Structure 1
Amino acid sequence: MDAALESGKTRLSPLTKVGAIPVSLTAMLPFVGYWLGGGAWHWLTIGLLFGVGPFLDLWLGEDNANVPPQLEREYERRLYYRLTLWLYLPVQVALVLFSYNLIINTEMALQAQIGLALSMAVGVGFGATLAHELCHHPSKLDRFIGVQIFSLCGMANFLVYHNYGHHNLVATPEDPGSARYGESFWKFTTRNISRKFVMSWQIEAQRLSRQGRGWLSPHNLMIWLTLNEVAWVAGLTWYFGPLALALFAVQYAAPRFLLSVGDYMEHYGLSRRKLPGGEYEPARAIHSWDDSYMLSNFLFTAVDRHADHHENSSRPFQILRVRQDAPRLPYGYLIMIFAAFVPAVWRRLVHPVLEAFYAKGEVVPHGLPGALPQRFAQGANIR
């Protein structure tokens, strides 16, 4: 019986109550640090998220409750969840303006400036998973808001790469967002960030070519997305001066880094089977890593219920399901992020789980040359 139907009563995930509000609350932590007196308090976001967060995630434990199928349509239609997503954009803009003004126009110690700049960048970066959700929605308004959130991360190209590249190529050697067995996060992230940007332009060029248009066309979405980002940078620089460029570089780097480690965790070592006609089998739950730790679920807008997202990409975050047929990360994202930074720790935690999953014979291993254990190398995707 589904975990949401215990003893004849419906038990829903706490996520169905709070929606995406925790992401906006995270972005407001730098304001709290300022109200508490500034100084070392400007490091509050960093301390809470990465110091306390992993322990709290472990203590709260897993949340395996799924919305019952008969209630999914009802929860899918509720405007409340879209409102909690929209709320983040004004909070994000306020965070950026507040932080820039405080760092550039007031007297602050260097350590406080660094703490506030990093806290701002992390607050902006956590919005990336929320923007990811919006960019999957069919509503033009939702996608517009998602693009604006991504533009303050310097990642507006995500809309093109993710929707039309990653979801088509996921868990294949052709996807720069799918990590290979034996590939360290540090090697992966260089390939991941650079190739995703290039692929975004390639996708648009190919789309326009099919329409008989060149890539340098007003119909090229990547041109408009890039101009949108430039407009944000130009506006901030015009208002705050050249130091705004340095701050934007920080808020550009942190979200890309966070997104890259998310990519690394989501499909590591998993590949789809190639069919006789040359195409790949459809993406299924077995091609993505799943996680159901409660705090991670809150802070990453349920993107860690990743297996269901890839099998049902139109399913909104509030009704994403925990999938028992997917490989499961040993801990939540707030812990596994740090594991990914240390290859030896990552291998110790993840490889036993992954190899046990390989042994079921349902998924094709995806690894670097010479990295896979010999018993899994035959028939694997190796590149």
Structure 2
Amino acid sequence: MDVAVSAWRDTKRPLWPLALVVPVLPFTALLLADVTGSAWAWWLTPLFILGVIPLIDLLVGDDRANPPDEAVPALQASPYYRWITYLFLPAQYAALAVACAAWARDPGWIGGVGLILTAGLVNGIAINTAHELGHKRETAERWLSKIALAPTGYGHFFVEHNRGHHVRVATPEDPASSRLGESFWRFWPRTVIGSLRSAWHLETSRHRLRGRNPWSVRNDILNAWAMTVLLFALLTVTFGVEVLPFLVLQAVVGFSVLEVVNYLEHYGLRRRRNAAGRYEKVDPRHSWNSDRLTTNVFLFQLQRHSDHHANPLRRYQTLRSFDVSPQLPAGYATMLLIALIPPLWRRVMDPRVLAHYGGDASLANSTPSYGSGGRP
């Protein structure tokens, strides 16, 4: 082994457990609520995720370091990194139970909104953990992915993301790839409905090709949704029927967090067709990236999205940054907030998309009305 490689160390190794701070935040909020008696305590989690993390991101800056290729096999095989993702799940479920208990005590509308955002953000970020686990070949990890998706009722993501989005990414046919000129608020219904339809078509077609009835426990969408039904039923029995509206609302917030991340990951990027009429292979130019260290630690390097699409089986600790990848001006936590304000988003991102294509908007994945004076 090369001396330089043998001496290489993952400098982020002690930082990765910080990802577990997210599902721990509701417990801190509970303690704060008990000590102060203030319903505003339940706003701690959204304040930390959407306020403190972007600030730390700005102060800490970027990390563009990549592991040497020779070190990747050992990194991939290390159980340390896997157990951090595994531990997210029990913390996620415990946080949801804490939120349900607080809701059942009637925290008032201020605390109630904070609780919905708290649980929604934790379970929305848990979809990223599900994303990391769902790409792996190990059966146990794939089932853990469905468990992480259950609180948001978004079990069909397991099918659509792996077999739909990764095939059609950065094309007009992909419901999870946003278009130049398309606001998040227009993208949201298109991706939520389109992804559900696509997932159902993919999974039922798989069963029919094998001569099986898709309405069975082996259907990956149905068994994932069954987990949600069981989870919500258990929480309702435990904490009372009044938690059902809370569970539904936090689920909507949770999967909306996923969809706003989808929105910013491929905005306006488009793969070209080759001479045979097929789309070119996915490469680092087809995903927006960010090397902000803080959000990469909290999101298991989801922001190194180009390498993920090129190599979906790579584990988070081995994902690389590429110079040719288009770069976001900030980390996901900041860009998520910008995406919710369409005029600000377009002012920040549209020039970057056009610069990526040398000023030629016809090369981008655009809305039909882009450039015609319309405001999609």
Tell me what 2:153 maps to.
154
C-alpha separation between the residues in 1 aligned to 2:15 and 2:58? 20
> What pairs up with 1:18-97 in 2 under 5 angstroms?
18-19=15-16, 21-36=17-32, 37=35, 38-39=37-38, 40-97=40-97
- For the pair 1:119 / 2:118, whether they are aligned, the reply is yes
- Contact 1:286 1:326 (8 Å CA) reproduced: yes
Quote how far apart the aligned CAs of 1:228 are.
Answer: 1.8
- Select between 73-82 and 342-351 the one with higher mean Cα deviation: 342-351
- Once the two structures are TM-superposed, the CA of residue 217 in structure 1 deviates from its matched residue by 4.0
Percentage of pairs with the same residue:
32
Identify the residue that residue 99 of structure 2 maps to in structure 1: 99
Paired amino acid for 2:328: L
Answer yes or no: is 1:308 the counterpart of 2:307. Answer: yes
- Counterpart of 1:367 in structure 2 is 366
Contact preservation (8 Å) 2:270, 2:363:
yes
What is the Cα deviation at residue 118 of structure 1?
A: 2.0
Letter of the 2:228 partner, please give it.
E
Query: Quick check: 1:349 aligned with 2:342?
Result: no
The unaligned stretches of length 5 or more in structure 1 are 375-382
Q: Tell me the TM-score normalized by structure 1.
A: 0.90
Displacement of 1:313:
0.8
Q: Is the 8 Å Cα contact of residues 291 and 321 (structure 2) preserved in structure 1? A: yes
Q: CA deviation at 1:59?
A: 0.9
3-state SS of 1:270 partner: coil
Q: Which residue of 2 aligns with 1:221?
A: 220
Q: Deviations over 1:288-322 (max 9, x none)?
A: 11111111112222111101100111111011011
How many Å separate the matches in 1 of 2:209 and 2:275? 26
Q: Write the distance in 2 (CA, Å) between the matches of 1:218 and 1:130.
A: 24
- Alpha-carbon deviation of 1:278? 3.2
Give per-residue Cα distances to partners, 1:200-233, cap 9 Å, x unaligned. 1100122122223343344422222222221112
CA distance in 1, matches of 2:369, 2:103: 49
Please provide the CA RMSD for this pair: 2.3
Instruction: State whether residues 185 and 340 of structure 1, in contact with CA within 8 Å, keep that contact through their aligned partners in structure 2.
Output: yes
Call closer, same or farther: CA 1:9–1:359 in 2, change over 3 Å: farther
Instruction: Check conservation: 2:26, 2:98, Cα contact below 8 A.
Output: no
With over 3 angstroms needed to count, the CA separation of the structure-2 counterparts of 1:206 and 1:230, relative to structure 1, is same
Structure 2: distance between partners of 1:13 and 1:154: 36
- Pair 1:17 & 2:18 matched: no
TM-score, structure 2 normalization = 0.91
Extract unaligned runs of 5+ from structure 2: none
Partner SS for 1:271 = coil
| 8 Å CA contact retained: 2:96, 2:119 | yes
Answer with 214-223 or 231-240: which moved more: 214-223
Task: Say if 1:292 and 1:305, in contact at 8 Å, map to a contact too.
Answer: yes
Counterpart of 2:340, as a letter, is F
